[in-house]
Structure formats: C-alpha cells, structure tokens
Amino acid sequence: MVSFPTVDKCASIGKEKHSVVADMDGTLLRGRSSFPYFALLSFEGGGIFRLLFLLLNSPLAGLLYYFVSESAGIKFYSNDLQSESWRVFSSCGKRCALTANPRIMVEAFLKDFLGADLVLGTEISTYKGRATGFVQSPAVLVGKNKADALKKAFGETQPEIGLGDRHTDAPFMALCKEGYIVPPKPEVEAVTTDKLPKPVIFHDGRLVQKRTPLSALLIVLWIPIGFILACLRIAAGSLLPIPMVYYAFWTLGVRVTIKGTPPPPAKKSIGQSGVLFVCSHRTLLDPIFLSTALGRPIPAVTYSLSRLSEIISPIKTVRLSRDRAADASMIKKLLEEDELVPVAMVNRMSMFHGTTARGWKGMDPFYFFMNPGPAYEVTFLNKLPPELTLSGGKSSHEVANYIQRVIAATLSYECTSFTRGDKCRALAGNDGNVVEKTKVQANE
C-alpha cells in the first residue's frame, strides 16, 4: 500500500493555480462515521419510524460500507468542517469533491458553501423528480470506483493534490501529483462559519443536534413519553387561566424567564391607549409565552396558522389577509399606537426545533413541548420614545428598522437585508406567497 504524508505537511501558499481533489467524510468533515447524517436524513424525511428502522439496521449498515450513501443538513455539515483539510482545499484555485455520498444531496453544500467547482458523488436513480434510493452504475463511489470517476472527469490531466482519510481513498490519491492523508483527530476544532465563502444563515429541520446511535435510541424511546408530556403542557396552556399558566409550566418542566419590566395593562376607563408588543419571532408559541410573562392574554397578529394551532391557542389570533396593500395598511395602523414596546425572545431546546419550513406547522407546538426541558426567555425593552414613532414624524419603515436594531443588539444578533421571501426560497423552494382559493376559483 502506498504511504502518504499527513495533511499538515501540505503547504497552502501559492496554490491558486492548483487543483485539489478531496474526499468528504473524514477528510473535509471531521466525523468519519456516517450514522449521524443517516439519522438526520431518516428522521427529517420519514419521521420516527424510519429512524427506528435505521437504528435496527445500523450494525448491518456499518458492515456494508460499499453499499451505503447518506446526507445531512447544510448546518450540520458546515459545523463539522475539518480545519487542516479546509486550509488546503480553500487555497487551491480548482476544487473537486469526490465522495460516496449521493451527489444530488451534497452538491449544493459543496458548491455554494465550500466553493467546489466539481462534485463527483454516487448517482442515485429518480422517479418523477423524487430520489428512489437505488444506486446507479457504477455503484457507490468507494475504492476503485472513485479512481475511475476521477479519471473520467479529468482525463489526461493530473490533479496536483489529493486528500483522503482511509485506505479506500488510496486509488484516487495515487492519480494525483501529491497525496495527503487526513488522520482521525476528533479534538481538531471545526472551521468557524465566518471563514466559509458563504455564511450559513437559514436552517430547517426538527433535530437540534447530530445523533449518535445511543442518542438516536434515546430519541426513539423518548418520543412516546415526550408526546404525552407535550399534550399535558399544551392542555395546561390552553385550558388554564393565563395567570396560572406560568406556574403550571414550571410544574411541568417548562421554564419561562422574564427580564425587564412588563408594562401594566392599559386603563381604558381613563383614556389610556393600548400597547403594541413587537417581538423577535422564534416559534408560533411566541405570543403564548408573551401572554404568560404578562400574566394576561393579548391578541396576536399572525401571517400563517394551521387549523390545529388555532384551535389549541388560548389567545385570540388575527390573521393577515395575504393582500399586500391591506396588510401594510393594518401594520401601519398598529404602529400608530402611542406605546410601542420591543420584546426580545429567545427559546432553548435540546432535542427538537419547534418550527419548520417544510413540515406541517400544526406539529410545531408539539415538537417544542416534546423537549425534556424547553425554555423561553422574554425580555421587555424600553418603550419607544415619542420622537421615534409615527406621531414623531418617522415613517413605518424607520420605526420597524429601529425596533429590529434594538432587538438585535439585545440578543447579539446581526441585522441582515433578507426578507421573508428570501427565507422561504432558501428553506422551502418558494417565495412564501399563497394564492387565495377564492381568487383561484374566480379565475377559473
């Protein structure tokens, strides 16, 4: 077997005109085990039963490395980037990733976030635009198959640098002018996202962390218990009077931390106007926890709400009409309130995210409350001074942007120019607009 030097011996200066070919798992990524990514894909794509099936078959899958391929979310890949491999990979002018992963599942991450020019991966068959999971010829790119794919892509041209992490990578590394092995070093720190060609901002999915076989088993065992617990927590929030919800949540393991000074309710009898709370959006439960922190129910303006979420909501909800002009007029009217109070909201979850772009929104409250110890932190900020409101001569855009900056500063967030449409296009593949059924029927 050919012996290769380790990747730390490879210089990264003056490589702008060089080409590099790198494996993915264990090379560009720190983790060599494919199970965490299998678990992510199984749970996000097929739910708990597919994850259980994977867990039961994981010993066999570990033996059949040549017949498996996997995928994971962009966020989890980017959080596991190997620093030494990235130093070499990013220094070269032409970058090629050669992986056993299905090409269609990793190509977007490798090209958009790592700047790869070419991605050679396992090809899987599709049917009516959906992946079937069956591997196409020449089978999974492992060992000799990787070398053959590299020869086909580069022809007579010999890449300058080849990076791999195991003996099955030796065939393709031998085709490069220089080959370097990436030794397994779990203690190596991952590359920070600010060093990537493109920052990872949007992320979708229910799982909070990558899963090992043991933690995946714990999820499978926990979900029946967690669902019952979630139903109890939702029932407490929906059926009990709002002043009692805070204590019921604490009894059931839901932590609500209140910071700042909540404004008292307006006294309409003496002519006091109402208060408009402008919150950072985390989940559909934001107004519920805001009401819990205030000790009184407040109506919430929502863009989209499932019928189930509407039924179990203990507070009044006001839907936006989806008509841009009408909604803009309503928001502008709300901003004309004399008292605008920004509220910074943060939640903490250990197992499941309480929101998703692609899944059914009706399950959002259940997933949040299925966490063993979910928590919400509600921070009431100072109300806007009169000179920074519409009555003080500011436009609605100026007021909204100011509130956004105040909340971002409180939470140590960075403001961006991304819109809701940008988020929907990145996560769900659409611009977030929904055509009203009445209008569709009228056009028909």
Element (H, E) at 57: helix 35-63
- The string of pLDDT tens digits covering residues 235-266 is 999 999 999 999 999 999 999 999 998 888 87
Q: Are residues 95 and 27 in contact, defined by beta-carbon separation less than 8 angstroms?
A: no
* CA proximity to 110, closest of 28, 30, 19: 28
**Which has the minimum average pLDDT: 50-59, 247-256, 291-300, 406-415?**
50-59
The secondary structure of residue 352, as a DSSP letter, is B
Please state, in angstroms and as integers, the Cα–Cα distance from residue 382 to each residue in 289, 297, 344, 404, 418, following that order. 19, 21, 11, 13, 26
Domain boundaries, the chain: 7-195, 233-434
Q: Are residues 301 and 334 in contact, defined by beta-carbon separation less than 8 angstroms?
A: yes
Is the four-CA dihedral 209, 212, 213, 217 of positive or negative sign?
Answer: negative
Strands 375-380 and 339-348: antiparallel
- Give Cβ neighbours of residue 300 (< 8 Å, ≥ 6 apart): 286, 287, 315, 316, 317, 318
205 is written with which tokens? 């999915």
- The string of pLDDT tens digits covering residues 189-227 is 888 877 887 777 766 677 777 777 777 788 888 989 999
**Which has the minimum average pLDDT: 18-32, 180-194, 301-315?**
301-315
Is the four-CA dihedral 219, 204, 232, 257 of positive or negative sign?
Answer: positive
Q: How far apart are CA 388 and CA 380, in angstroms?
A: 18
How is 399-432 classified by DSSP, letter by letter?
Answer: HHHHHHHHHHHHHT-------HHHHHHHHTSS-S
Q: Alpha carbon 199 to chain centroid distance?
A: 13
**CATH number for domain 7-195, candidates 3.30.70.1290, 3.20.20.140, 3.20.19.10, 3.40.50.1000:** 3.40.50.1000
- The string of pLDDT tens digits covering residues 99-138 is 888 887 788 889 988 999 999 988 877 777 666 667 777 7
Element (H, E) at 152: helix 144-154
- Give Cβ neighbours of residue 404 (< 8 Å, ≥ 6 apart): 415
User: Roughly what angle, to the nearest 10 degrees, separates helices 396-411 and 324-335?
Assistant: 70
| % of the chain beyond a pLDDT of 90 | 31
Please state, in angstroms and as integers, the Cα–Cα distance from residue 126 to each residue in 46, 73, 361, 427, 429, following that order. 17, 20, 28, 22, 19
Q: How far apart are CA 114 and CA 99, in angstroms?
A: 14
309 is written with which tokens? 């979420």
* CA proximity to 197, closest of 117, 103, 99: 117
Q: Is 399 exposed, middle or buried (0-12, 13-18, 19+ CB in 10 A)?
A: buried
Q: 134: how many CB neighbours lie within 10 A of its CB?
A: 9
pLDDT level of residue 442 (50, 70, 90 thresholds): very low
- The string of pLDDT tens digits covering residues 34-82 is 566 556 656 655 566 666 655 555 554 443 343 333 334 677 788 888 9
Please state, in angstroms and as integers, the Cα–Cα distance from residue 33 to each residue in 25, 225, 371, 422, following that order. 8, 29, 26, 33
Question: What's the average model confidence in pLDDT over 270-281?
Answer: 77
- Give Cβ neighbours of residue 152 (< 8 Å, ≥ 6 apart): none
* CA proximity to 353, closest of 423, 283, 432, 261: 283
Tell me the β-bridge partners of 162. 21, 179
265 is written with which tokens? 């309710």
Q: Please tell me the predicted confidence (pLDDT) of residue 71.
A: 35
Q: What is the mean pLDDT of the chain?
A: 80
